[in-house]
Amino acid sequence: MNIEARKISLIHQILLVQQDTILDKIEALLVRRTSNVTEAQKKAIDKGLQSLSEGKKIPHNEVMKQMKEKYPKYFK
């Protein structure tokens, strides 16, 4: 079976799926395979999201103040 026939076969099989959990898994697999985000980046994102859920956050204006002090040449 060539690649185009395999794709069509998979599409037909997906169209018959009636369970959200299976579609979620297929979608996650496809998204993961096309993502350019590295594992290290994913871990950093997860760590940041965890910090936010724990209430650990810095207001935007404070971040901007720190960045302007640290990198003044970029804020002229």
Residue among 16, 36, 14, 35 nearest 25 (CA):
14
How high is the pLDDT of residue 71? Answer: 95
Look at residue 38 in the predicted model and tell me its pLDDT: 85
pLDDT in tens, 13-72: 999 999 999 999 998 888 776 667 888 998 999 999 999 999 999 999 999 999 999 999
Q: Is the pTM of this model over 0.75?
A: no
Give me the pLDDT at residue 33, please: 65
The answer, yes or no, to whether residue 76 has pLDDT greater than 90, is no
Closest CA to 7 of 28, 30, 24, 25: 30
